[in-house]
Amino acid sequence: MTKIETTLPTLLSDIEAFYKPKEWHFLSVNGIDLGEGKIELQWIFSKYGVKDEVVIYYALSDYEIPIPSLVALIPSSIMGEREIVDMFGLTVEGTQKGLYLDEDSLQHPLRGEA
């Protein structure tokens, strides 16, 4: 596994320079609550035809900072983006909430202070 630090302002250009759709499979975008209003976001890729070759781009952020969307580059990322919106209460550019949680559900249940 390779873990590569990025920043939200450079995320799109970093992923665009790396991502080759016939070589890499986008698995997921994930969040890890770090407490005190901080989160680690991870964009996870695996290489086609190679066992256990995984690349994780990660960025540290505050909950209030909008997250860029990868949908224009990787359309399937919409599902993971909508999940982190619901589960962590994040804002992802152009992404709606309400995919996983009903209005009467506990809101952003994976956020540390939930």
How far CA 1 is from CA of 53, 75, 94, in Å, comes to: 6, 24, 30
Residue with tokens 């680690």: 40
Instruction: Determine the pLDDT at residue 34.
Output: 96
Number of domains in the chain: 1
Side chain identity, residue 71: V
pTM over 0.85: yes
Token look-up 């991502």 returns: 19
Residue 30 covered by a domain: yes
Residue 96 confidence (pLDDT): 79
7, part of any domain = yes
The answer to whether position 69 is within a domain reads no
* Three-state secondary-structure class, residue 11: helix
State the 10-residue block means of pLDDT for the chain, 114 residues long: 97 98 97 96 97 96 96 95 93 84 79 72
Strand arrangement, sheet containing 54-62: 2-5, 54-62, 38-47, 24-35
Tokens, residue 40? 């680690």
Question: Does any domain span residue 95?
Answer: no
